[in-house]
Amino acid sequence: DAKTTQPNSMESNEEEPVHLPCNHSTISGTDYIHWYRQLPSQGPEYVIHGLTSNVNNRMASLAIAEDRKSSTLILHRATLRDAAVYYCIRLRDTGNQFYFGTGTSLTVIP
Amino acid sequence: DAGVIQSPRHEVTEMGQEVTLRCKPISGHNSLFWYRQTMMRGLELLIYFNNNVPIDDSGMPEDRFSAKMPNASFSTLKIQPSEPRDSAVYFCASSLLDTQYFGPGTRLTVL
């Protein structure tokens, strides 16, 4: 089962941090967690990925629970350009087929 | 790099016509993916190529859909005959390792 569970929608005020949760309770020990986002009228774009340790890049941080059953994407200061649908994806080490769920639609309020 | 290139960006056709969508992956990438996105079903993987060979086509809806990758720099997705329920945005993505890079998509409308 490659499914993940995310809230359908979230809101954030501009310039405040945003924590986007994802549940992947059936994850195996070698599945990576990937996050992508889709801006309006665009294709999905890569945000960040990780396996066990917390990860940081210029776009966001990824906090992975110690038991790996959940993770949180952190946008440190939301901007209006961050309004998008955010997808949390499990990627099996046996292949690179992505299964996109419904994602979380993030609204940023000015 | 120009990124993944898809053409056309918009296609409007009538039911029963043949539709061909085109994709040029990022140079050097060895995997190519075709996705379809609709409001009802979200993003669905249709088919996945590795080194120009189809690896998994279990997402192709039916025999009216076919995909080819004759070389590392070009792929097509063909629908023949097209039906109104095929109306969707079709994305092509390519990758070298795990990260997939998506094109801008082709919005297909079948009347």
**DSSP assignment string, B82-101:** --GGG-EEEEEEEESSS-EE
Q: What's the pLDDT tens digit per position in A65-91?
A: 999 899 999 999 999 999 999 999 887
Return the higher-pLDDT residue of A4 and A3: A4
**A chain contacts of residue B4, beta-carbon cutoff 8 Å:** 43
Residue B78 in tokens: 């063909």
Task: Check residue A85 and give its pLDDT.
Answer: 97
Average pLDDT over residues A27-37: 87
- pLDDT-based confidence at residue A13 (cuts at 50, 70, 90): very high
Task: Check residue B98 and give its pLDDT.
Answer: 81
Q: How would you write the pLDDT of chain B (111 residues) with one tens digit per residue?
A: 689 999 999 999 999 999 999 999 999 999 999 999 999 989 999 999 999 999 988 889 889 999 999 999 999 999 999 999 999 999 999 999 888 999 999 999 999
* Cβ–Cβ below 8 Å for B102 and A44: yes
DSSP, res A59? S
Average pLDDT over residues A19-25: 93
Residue B52 CA: distances (Å) to CA of B28, B43, B57, B94: 12, 22, 13, 11
* Cβ–Cβ below 8 Å for B45 and A98: yes
- pLDDT-based confidence at residue A27 (cuts at 50, 70, 90): confident
> Phi/psi of residue A6, each to 5°?
-135, 155
Residue A15 in tokens: 């310039």
Task: Check residue A2 and give its pLDDT.
Answer: 60
Query: Interior CA angle at A89 toward A2 and B7, to 5°?
Result: 110
Task: Check residue A1 and give its pLDDT.
Answer: 53
* Cβ–Cβ below 8 Å for B98 and A95: no
- Nearest Cα of chain B lies from the Cα of A76 at a distance, in angstroms, of 22
Nearest chain B residue to A93 by CA distance is: B98
Task: Check residue B12 and give its pLDDT.
Answer: 98
A30 has a pLDDT exceeding 70 = yes
Query: Interior CA angle at A10 toward B91 and A84, to 5°?
Result: 25
DSSP, res B26? P
A108 has a pLDDT exceeding 70 = yes
Nearest chain B residue to A44 by CA distance is: B102
